[in-house]
Structure 1
């Protein structure tokens, strides 16, 4: 088992669990900052986790739920207090109701995750700070220690998988529920470079021009919440098709890590989607995570049925070749 020690310190009100893994620190770190990987081990084997949000930067937040064998859900959240890339992060760790609101009937703890090298790979030390002995004992009774042991027992299978989450796997999608889809892609560039490529009109014109034979003919980028966006594409001469545009409103922004915006096709009459995009530094570049919530499952299926994922992949390849890796 990866767990090498468990230390309960009643004087300091802490529970420290240490585990070791046969991979470099960077590989172990990436497993925690990539929600696709984290949800494969965060919950115990019989209570797998689904992360609907995962923002690994100071002030960021993660939301997740674990699903039991009978379909029961148990929700939780992290609020990131500090992040030292590749070395440590500190979070407020709490429980949540089904609608995402914090469950104040259960304790909120502070957890510090510290990553370090060993002679054979890497070490993870997780120290949970409790507010009282009663809280510590309550959470131990709820199975926090055993659950953490079981979760860490699943990490090795994830971090030794060199193919599933590699940078060259292309755009991946996963249904988070009947209206929400998460799209993921590692892009060869820093978060700031990827952010700029999505917000600088000159850079957008180099890659965000739709299918081959089409051009971006209008580009209005929002920089503050409440401002609107508009992107219009038109076919080149000799190419069939009619011009179309996507419009939306910026809801929130935290450059270069995260932004939330609405989006809809102009003139179509369809309800807008809610798009949440997060950029996270990983080995090989930046993990782009885009979570889209549709008004209905029918709208989701209709939009995905247009070949959206393939179109996204074409655009991201163009982004890499024309902007991120262009000299």
Structure 2
């Protein structure tokens, strides 16, 4: 986590976030200058951002929309008031309507982003000024602080480069909050190929098997919003274990980029989770990211303790071998 300090000053009506990164200022600045890189971290997990406009110049404006796990959306805009390349960005930050125009029903803020070199790389200092204590409290109650911190927590992998961050490291688990985890896996194949293998039943039966010695007995899916799926596995002869399965519904589908589904174990009172899958192609490979939301911390700890991540790595490694053999 690159964030080193968060300070709220209720008298000055400000919130200041400081973060440090092991990259030069030019690399950090480039992540804010490029809308495709901004999209990879500006929205918090579960609410990825899409920038449809990004004119980073004095008088210019950006427009982005964050989409939640059930298709709900929240749009925002930036209006740039000062730019010192490599040093400072100042802007008006506000909520927007679907067409990118300022939403007069919602608060606006002033924001300053300062980029500084350090001996170890660079420092980023973001200060937000609120118009009143009521507006500050309103935005904090809406989850602005937590959302910003979770969004900035994604910057490391963007600055490092997705391949460098994940390739060759297997299945990575990050605990984002008491009820959220993020699982990432680099696959050496283009995104369309990975998406097809991830969502085609006859291919899924070849790799989505977990540990050796299991077979998939049921794989039915309708990956459209409102559709459902059913998976089931059983041990092969000589393998210990009990047959089990999962089922759920599709809340959001944006192929070949994103799919959000519910998941619950069939025939048990096990808690239902929300699984938010995204795929981002970079440098000839695909970073697969799965953000899982649990109903409570106890459920999260119980499910992680079952060896779930190890089983996922076995399946993902099998998927990668299958795609490389084709």
Q: Deviations over 1:149-201 (max 9, x none)?
A: 58993499974689961411111111111011111111111111111111111
Matches of 1:124 and 1:91 in 2, distance apart? Answer: 18
Q: Deviations over 1:60-115 (max 9, x none)?
A: x53xxxxxxxxxxxxxxx442169xxxxxx952599xxxx9869xxx83268xxxx
Q: Note if 1:51 corresponds to 2:19.
A: no
- Describe the SS at the equivalent of 2:267: coil
Find the partner of 1:92 among 63, 68, 72: 63
What's the counterpart of residue 122 of structure 2? 153
Find the partner of 1:144 among 79, 104, 112: 112
Offset, 1:206: 1.2
What's the counterpart of residue 20 of structure 1? 26
What's the counterpart of residue 69 of structure 1? none
What's the counterpart of residue 108 of structure 1? 77
Offset, 1:282: 1.6
- Describe the SS at the equivalent of 1:280: strand
Matches of 1:131 and 1:241 in 2, distance apart? Answer: 55
Offset, 1:262: 0.2
- Native 8 Å contact 2:166 2:185 kept in 1: no
TM-score by length of 1: 0.61
Change (3 A) 1:284 1:292: same
Matches of 2:226 and 2:65 in 1, distance apart? Answer: 31
Matches of 1:218 and 1:101 in 2, distance apart? Answer: 34
Matches of 1:245 and 1:326 in 2, distance apart? Answer: 28
Matches of 2:266 and 2:293 in 1, distance apart? Answer: 18
Offset, 1:247: 0.6
Q: Note if 1:218 corresponds to 2:218.
A: yes
Change (3 A) 1:276 1:91: farther
TM-score by length of 2: 0.61
Offset, 1:273: 0.3
Q: Note if 1:80 corresponds to 2:60.
A: no
What's the counterpart of residue 170 of structure 1? 170
Change (3 A) 1:172 1:30: farther
- Native 8 Å contact 1:219 1:230 kept in 2: yes
What's the counterpart of residue 268 of structure 2? 268
Offset, 1:145: 3.7
Matches of 2:117 and 2:64 in 1, distance apart? Answer: 18
Matches of 2:306 and 2:113 in 1, distance apart? Answer: 47
Matches of 1:157 and 1:295 in 2, distance apart? Answer: 27
What's the counterpart of residue 326 of structure 1? 325
- Native 8 Å contact 1:93 1:110 kept in 2: no
Aligned length: 242
For structure 2, list consecutive stretches of 5 or more residues without a partner in the other structure: 1-24, 55-60, 67-71, 95-101, 103-108, 125-154
For structure 1, list consecutive stretches of 5 or more residues without a partner in the other structure: 1-18, 43-49, 54-60, 63-77, 84-89, 112-122, 136-140
Change (3 A) 1:288 1:82: farther
Q: Note if 1:310 corresponds to 2:310.
A: yes
- Native 8 Å contact 1:186 1:284 kept in 2: no
What's the counterpart of residue 202 of structure 1? 202
What's the counterpart of residue 37 of structure 2? 32
